[in-house]
Amino acid sequence: MQAKTLVPTSMHGARMLFATLLLALTGAVISLAHAQATPASPAPAFGHHEFGGGRMLERMLDSVNASADQRSRIHDIMKSAMTDLRAQREASRGLREQALNLFAQPTVDARAVESLRQQMLQQHDQSSRRWMQAMLDASAVLNPDQRAQLADRMKQRSEMMQQRQRERRTQEQPKG
């Protein structure tokens, strides 16, 4: 029996693997970010770090049999990203408040709105860059086999979620 290759054989395969890994890690990080932003959420302990809502990250690490060292390194990467993005989250909130104020004026200043939109784009780009760096750093901690396992798991999860959405749409359609 021939061994199954874990390295993508095409550029498309490599992109799909990276996109899947990125999706998995993004989901874990977003879950972590949301839980940290919610003061009432419990903060379960993960080794020497405490994170609120890190269950998705832990399940991801469990699914690839991550070692204690890998877990620690990935937790450090995610904790650093969260710290860096806290200030950016506050800045984004301020920009949204400015937008509300602009649109509440008797006459909406289109130039001011456009300027604010550009600031929002820059803010989003900074956040996106920081998350992408965290994803790259975390993916470098995992070996190719673990990344392939993660890609398979996320593909299955995506298919399951799409099936549920189809079922929900079917149930929501008016009968008649």
* HEC assignment per residue over 63-102: HCCCCHHHHHHHHHHHHHHHHHHHHHHHHHHHHHHHHHHH
For the chain, the structural domain boundaries read: 20-148
Give 12-53 pLDDT, tens digit per residue: 555 554 455 555 555 544 444 444 443 333 333 333 333 333
pLDDT reported for residue 89: 87
27 versus 67: the higher-pLDDT residue is 67
> What integer pLDDT is reported at residue 106 of this predicted model?
95
85-104 pLDDT tens trace: 988 888 888 899 999 999 99
- pLDDT at position 112, please? 94
pLDDT of residue 42: 31
CB 36 within 8 A of CB 60: no
- On whether the CB atoms of residues 53 and 34 are closer than 8 A, the answer is yes
Q: Is the pLDDT of residue 83 over 80?
A: yes
For residue 165, the model assigns a pLDDT of: 94
| 156, two tokens | 């299955």
* pLDDT confidence of residue 153: 87
